[in-house]
Every structure is written in C-alpha cells, then in structure tokens.
Structure 1
Amino acid sequence: MGAAQSRHEVVPDWPQLPEGHVLGLCAGVGVDAQNRVFVFHRSGRKWANPFPKEPIDASTVSAFDGATGKLLFAWGAGRFIMPHGLAVDHEGMLWLTDVGLHQVFRCTPEGKVLLTLGEAGAPGADQAHFNLPTDVAVLRDGSFYVSDGYKNSRVVKFTAAGKFDFEWGTKGQANGQFSLPHGIAVDALGRIIVCDRENERLQLFAARGAFLDVWKSPGIGKPYGVEVGADGHIHVIDGGSPSLKREQRGKAVELDARGNVIASYGRPGSGPGEFQLGHDIAVGPDGAVYVAEGTGARVQKFVRKN
C-alpha cells in the first residue's frame, strides 16, 4: 500500500478562484472532452432539515479550465435548492441532481435546460417522482440511470427521451438492496456501479439491473462517488467510514476492473492532498483526477507522478 500511495500527487493552487467567488460545499464534479471541469456547489448553503424553500442566490455551477484552474464561467444563481450530483455525458451535456427540488436536469454547459425529470419540491416513489435523487450515469445511446437516493433506495432507468424504463432496489443489506445509493457510473464492460454508501460497499449490476458482484473492504471504505477513466480503471472517493481508524478515513481509490485496489491516496485533513468529506470524483481526458469535498468546501486536482 505504501508504494500505491505515491501514485498520485496534488496540484497546488488549483483552481484559481476570483475574489468573492465562493464555492461552499462542493457536491458534484465532472470533466468534459475539452478538459473543462464543472463543479456543482452550494455557495455557502448548509444542509438543513427541512430544506430551505428559496433557491440559492449565488451561482452554483462553476466551470474551470482543467489545465490552468482558471474560472471560465459560472451560472445557476436563483435556480437550485440543494445541489448534489453532476455528470457529463458523451455529448458534453451536464446532468445535475437537486435533492432539495427532487429533480434531475440535463443542461448545456452554459446552463440551458434541455430536460427536466421529477416534480419541483414534490418527493415521491413512482415513475414520475424522485425522493432526494443523488446522481446520474449516462449510456452512449443517451439512456440513463438515476440513483434515487436518500429515501427511495433504488436505481431508475430512463430512455434517452426521459421516459421511465424500469427500476430496481429496495432498502436493505442484501445483494441488490441499498442503503443510500449515492454515486453511480457505467464501466467499459457495461456494468452499472453503485456506491451503496451506508452499506459501505460498491455493487455491480448488469444493464437490466441483475446483480453481478459486490466489492467491500477497508481499502474501498465508504464510497460516496465513482467514475470510470478512459483506461477502464474505476475511481472512488471514500467519504470516511466511522468503522475505520481515523487515519484510514477519507481517501481516493483507484481500482482495476476486478475491484482490486491499484492506488490509494489522501488522508483526513484540511491540507493539500487531504480530504474533509470527499463527496464526488471525476477523471479528465488527460487522466487527471478531481475530488469535490463537502466539509472541505473545495475541489482538488491530482495527477499521476512520473
């Protein structure tokens, strides 16, 4: 494990935030083919029960140049209640989940809404509603999966047009059950990988929801976010499991296609390369890894050492 921990290093002073541009809790992160890094953030809003009714006044989506960290543009002011997941599809469009609105959005990189699923402010468990949806994974044909989420403990599949296709999952600890499906991704083999957060494991499924495998170990920890790189490696951010010793809580993990840990880096803390509640993870076209932090309220960039 010692050798694996030297595989990645943090890029200091990334990103470059203009004065007065506050990210706050960074919930989602994704990278497009142009190496633009999109961050879905709460701009100072705290998780509260019940959620506020009014949208966040400040911008909630910030786009950075992956190479330099320069802020390119930002949008989303007055539109979101509680930002959560962000994914970038094969056409470069953004998929956002808002756990406060109980909705899923497909948007252009500049913020034009192309598709909306769910009813604003109306939780539910049927084909037209979500209850605190967390993340989205998109296939090349445009169809997509939604992890739904904090209350419903299910994964829902939709067609490219946004029509309900099928769903699976209930609350529990058995194979195919979930306790907070929090992040979701599709790998090169077509497997659906779900961060079963409170069960502290990754579950893998076939395209129609058939259970394939479960990966659970201290090396993986408590998976919050997952993304698959161009090389087929699976990147996971461990938000920090209370079942582990403190020094083992909170790390980024790189897995091979069989679930073996290739690399593990980061540790709890507020310094460069350390994590305070890592919440999501993304991989750029150049292999750089980006981690969005909750409590840490920042995004960090990691590159592979030469």
Structure 2
Amino acid sequence: MECGSAARHSETVSNRERAALIARRSLLTALPLAGLAAAGLVLRGSPPAAATVDDAVDRATAAGDVLTPWGRTPPQAAGGTGVTVTPDGEVVLLHRAGAPFASGQPMTADPIVVLDPGTGEVRRSWGAGLFRSPHGVSAAPNGDLWVTDVMTNKVTVFGRDGTPRRTLGHDYGTGLDTCLAVRNELTNLPCTGDPYIFARPTDVAPGADAAYVADGYRNSRVARFAADGTFAHAWGELGDAAGEFSIPHGIALRPDGVVAVADRRNARVQLFTPDGGHLATHASGQLGRPYDVAFGADGTLLALDGGDALDEDGGRRRGYVVALAGDGTVTRRWALRDQDADPHQLAVGPHGELYVAALTGPPLWRWTP
C-alpha cells in the first residue's frame, strides 16, 4: 500500500512538473508571438478604405457638352493613359499599346505620339524600348515633356523632338520592390528614406522653376523637384486626413503656384501651396471620383471623374469632366459619349479644348468650344 501510494505521489509530482514545464514553454512561445502580433499592429497602421461616391446624384449634361473620339492615332495606340498640350498647341498622347497596367515587358511600340491640333494627324512619335508601363505625360512651359512609368519607377524628361534630357528616380536595391508591395498592407513598414525613390509614380506638374511628382500608388506623397531634377521637399502619407493621400493619381499647377491633386481613392481634390500647405479639399457626389485635374486658361479648376469601378466593390464606370468654383461647387459638366471608356488623364487646349486619354476603346477624346 505504501509503495503504491508513493508511486502515485511520484506520478502526481511528475505530472505537475510536466504541466509546469509545458506552461513555461507555452509562455516562452507565446511571448514572441505576442510581440510579433503587436509589431504587426504597429506596422499595419490605419490604411483608409476607399471613399464611397454618392451615385444618386443628377449628372445631366448639356447636349453640346460631349467629348467624342479624336485624332488619327496609329492602330497600336491602344490604351490611352495620358494626354497633354504643348505650349505651341501640339497634342501629345501617351499610350501603352493595349498592355495591362504594370506590365513588366518593354514596349516595342512608340508610346509617345504627337498630333497636329488641327488635323489630328501624327507628326512624330518615339519611346519604343524606353518604357514598360507609362502612366502620365505633362508639358512644361518650355515645351519639355515629363513622363512617368509605374514599372521602371522613373520620370523621364524629353525635349519636344524626343531627345531625352534627364531621368529622375534612383534604381531599386535588392528586395525594395517587395518591401514596397508589402507596405500596401503593412503601411508603417520602413522601406527607404531615399527621396529619389519613386514607387509607381502617376503624374507630374512641371512649372518654370519646379516640378511636382504625384508618387503615387505606393508612396502616397507629392515630391517637389527643381527644374534640373534636384529634390527639394515632399509632403503627404497614406491616409484620408487633410494633406494625406490614397493614390494621388493626377496633379496640376496653377500659374500662381497653387498645386491641385486628384486624390483618387479618397474621391476628392486637394489644393496646396507650393511648399505643401493645405488650402482646401473638394469632395461631393457631383464631383465624383477624380482621376486627374487641370487648370483652364482663366484659372478654372477642372477635374476628370473616372468612375468607381477600380476602387469600390460594385462601383460603376463613368466618364465626365467637371468645372469647379472656388468652393468646390460643380458649375459645368461635360460627358464622354461612351461612359465605359475608362478615362484616365485630362488636358486643356489653348482655346479651351478639352482632351481626355482613355483606357478602353478610342485612346483620345476631344471637345471643342
């Protein structure tokens, strides 16, 4: 009996020791996991959801305010991503030859096509082999063209004849692209402190003395560069507060230095001083979801409503250009004849013409006063 009792006592002690050992091991395992979970919460940040646009609004358009396909563009010019008008009135179309967004293959067609503003005929083209997924094009006051590429992560500046002048953007080191991709979810993940690193830049607003880069799908900032390409400063981060961005997709510069940004996923336009001071935010169902912005000759702010299909679950495709008053009220509206054209970038001609580059169907649309 005593031997059996001692054996049972020994077994009980052994069980307790095993239980204590298991508990200690579980604690040792749980502590790093808890630390990782806490770190994950810190890195996760608070990425904003896509803003919802009220679709139950009146978007009636006057009969004559309709953009129609324009230009004798070459057959390979499918998928219009950008359009600008040079100081001497030439119309420049940027396209990706029908390739999908963020294609990794070098383009074999010329993505930059310069058109006669009167006849729509092609005057010249260039850029084959230089781009993978061109996104936006803008003309500087001196006639230079600034072009972004979301796969090379570079901004290239060309003379009006197609001569490359300079390239902005440092090359990626090992693992940086993966880090930036993961940062879409872990929004506080540190990847780089190099201000010359672009992360899928979308558009440029070049002025006489400075150029503002909307950067873009992964960096959520506006970066200012001197005309020679020297970095000056930047502002913005991922978010939906004033001065923050969620896909700054288009950008424009008013002659007095005011910078307008089409903050696409946040469905709003933000206005800033040249050094990034927040001036105003415009958002409404009438405005829609701005893909791009431009300024008319009289300083009127114009926005391109590209619809919600890419940002909202079940979102509708749309195609409008709207003029905004100083308080953000929509004062006039133009419609693309095909509301499924997927408009992407907006430009204004010297006589008030409106040009829109579109991803689906004809790559270039125009309205003439």
The question of a shared fold, defined as TM-score above 0.5 by the shorter chain, is answered with yes
Paired residue for 1:93, among 139, 144, 148?
Answer: 144
Whichever residue aligns with residue 348 of structure 2, its letter is V
User: Contact 1:98/1:132 (CA < 8 Å) preserved in 2?
Assistant: yes
Paired residue for 2:87, among 20, 33, 40?
Answer: 33
The runs of 5 or more residues in structure 1 that have no matched partner are none
Answer with 1 or 2: which has the greater Rg: 2
Q: Is residue 2:351 matched to residue 1:286?
A: yes
The runs of 5 or more residues in structure 2 that have no matched partner are 1-57, 178-191
- Give 1:262's aligned residue: 331
Q: How many residues align?
A: 293
- Give 2:130's aligned residue: 79
Deviations 1:113-169 (A, max 9, x none): 1111013566555212100011111223x2111010000100001112211111110
| SS state at 1:90 partner | coil
User: Residues 27 and 11 from structure 1, CA distance in 2 versus in 1: closer, same or farther, beyond 3 angstroms?
Assistant: closer
**Cα distance in 2 between the residues matched to 1:76 and 1:197:** 28
User: Contact 2:215/2:221 (CA < 8 Å) preserved in 1?
Assistant: yes
Deviations 1:273-293 (A, max 9, x none): 545211000001111100001
Deviation at 1:9, TM superposition (A): 3.4
Q: Is residue 2:220 matched to residue 1:220?
A: no
| SS state at 2:62 partner | helix
Deviation at 1:47, TM superposition (A): 2.0
- Give 2:185's aligned residue: none
Whichever residue aligns with residue 40 of structure 1, its letter is L
- Give 1:129's aligned residue: 197
Q: How does 1:34-73 map onto structure 2 within 5 Å? A: 34-48=88-102, 51-52=103-104, 54-73=105-124
- Give 2:262's aligned residue: 195
Whichever residue aligns with residue 137 of structure 2, its letter is L
Whichever residue aligns with residue 253 of structure 1, its letter is V
| SS state at 1:175 partner | coil
- Give 1:17's aligned residue: 73
Deviation at 1:228, TM superposition (A): 0.7
**Cα distance in 1 between the residues matched to 2:314 and 2:349:** 31
Tell me how large the CA RMSD over aligned residues is.
Answer: 2.2
Q: Is residue 2:186 matched to residue 1:119?
A: no
| SS state at 1:239 partner | strand
Q: How does 1:176-195 map onto structure 2 within 5 Å? A: 176-195=243-262
Specify which structure has the higher proportion of strand.
Answer: 1
**Cα distance in 2 between the residues matched to 1:275 and 1:67:** 27
| SS state at 1:280 partner | strand
User: Residues 9 and 47 from structure 1, CA distance in 2 versus in 1: closer, same or farther, beyond 3 angstroms?
Assistant: closer
Whichever residue aligns with residue 202 of structure 2, its letter is T
Deviation at 1:189, TM superposition (A): 3.8
Q: Report the TM-score when normalising by structure 2.
A: 0.74
- Give 2:302's aligned residue: 235
Deviations 1:163-183 (A, max 9, x none): 111111010111111000010
**Cα distance in 2 between the residues matched to 1:297 and 1:120:** 34
Structure 1 stretch 79-88 or stretch 252-261: which is displaced more?
Answer: 252-261
